[in-house]
Amino acid sequence: LQVENQLRLALRNKHIQVMYQPKVSLRNYEFVGLEALVRLNIPGTGVINPSEFIPLAEETGLIIEMGEQVLRQTCRDMRQWVEQGTVQGRVAVNLSAKQFVQPDLTKRIMAILNEEKLAPEYLELEITEGVVMEDPERAIEIMTELNQCGIHLALDDFGTGYSSLAYLKRFPIQTLKIDKAFVDDINGADRDRNMVASIVAMAHNMGLDVVAEGVVNTAQASTLSRLSCEFAQGYLFAEPLSSEAFVQHISVPA
């Protein structure tokens, strides 16, 4: 109940904070895009991580309001960065299960982009394998609609759920994000390395970009690069940063 009240209060007071994590090219470690990650920043209490409030936000339905605040803030920041020429590529925003199945999802997203004056081409939405596989046929319809508006789509946490390959082929997505669980032991277990190699090859055969998540050391980065994975995120490059820290980070050459 305490977290729920804090969440309600944070939504009312607009204390939802958006942090940004850079996405880099594994070829040269250059910045190519970013992911928005929500935090609750409660004055006097401190920062609360999503693992503590996303499940609750989802249960109570507060995730809808939270998701809209996150998207709005992200579009506002991104628009400014695009105008200033600070940032290239797309900004990725995570969509929750409840948001994804809202009947007017596309309309709501387009309204926010329009109000914040950000072109849809700058936005990418991340949807987890678990969410799309709940009702794959409906997911294809929703994704197609979003795609037709110029919004890119990424399948998040890939490998942790059950994606039938038959569906994967039909999903109108542009990017596959390999879950951190596969990256963790990429230099240990042959099986994990072979799994990543297969995922990358399959994704490329389908014309998808591949992003590895949770890269924490250079050995992982070089193995991923050798396996032809072209993009990555992780603490090796940067943690999720406040908008101010993010701008600082990307304007200082690596």
Interaction site with ligand G (CB under 6 A): 21, 37-38, 49-51, 54, 67, 70, 94, 96, 126, 156-157, 213-214, 216, 233-235, 240
Q: Is 145 helix (H, G, I), strand (E, B) or coil?
A: helix
Taking the complex as a whole, how short is the minimal distance between the CB of residue 148 and ligand G, in angstroms?
23
Tokens of 22: 């850079």
Choose between 157 and 171: whose C-beta lies nearer to ligand G: 157
Contact stretch for Mn ion (CB under 5 A) within 9-17, 152-160, 182-190, 201-209:
152-160
Element at 40 (helix H, strand E):
strand 31-42
The DSSP bridge partners found for residue 153 are: 125
Residues written for the chain: 254
For 120, which DSSP code?
G
Choose between 96 and 147: whose C-beta lies nearer to ligand G: 96
Candidate residues 34, 53, 124, 126; the one interacting with Mn ion per rule CB under 5 A: 126
Under the binding rule (CB under 5 A), the answer on residue 179 touching Mn ion is: no
Contact stretch for Mn ion (CB under 5 A) within 15-23, 133-141, 154-162, 166-174:
154-162
For 252, which DSSP code?
S
Contact indicator for 173, 208 with CB cutoff of 8 Å: yes
Taking the complex as a whole, how short is the minimal distance between the CB of residue 192 and Mn ion, in angstroms?
20
E strands, 101-229, are 123-128, 152-158, 175-178, 209-212
| Sign of the dihedral through C-alpha 200, 193, 31, 239 | positive
For Na ion, the binding residues (CB under 5 A) are: 156-157, 213
Contact stretch for Mn ion (CB under 5 A) within 7-15, 62-70, 88-96, 165-173:
88-96
Which parts of this chain interact with Mn ion (CB under 5 A)?
Answer: 94, 126, 156
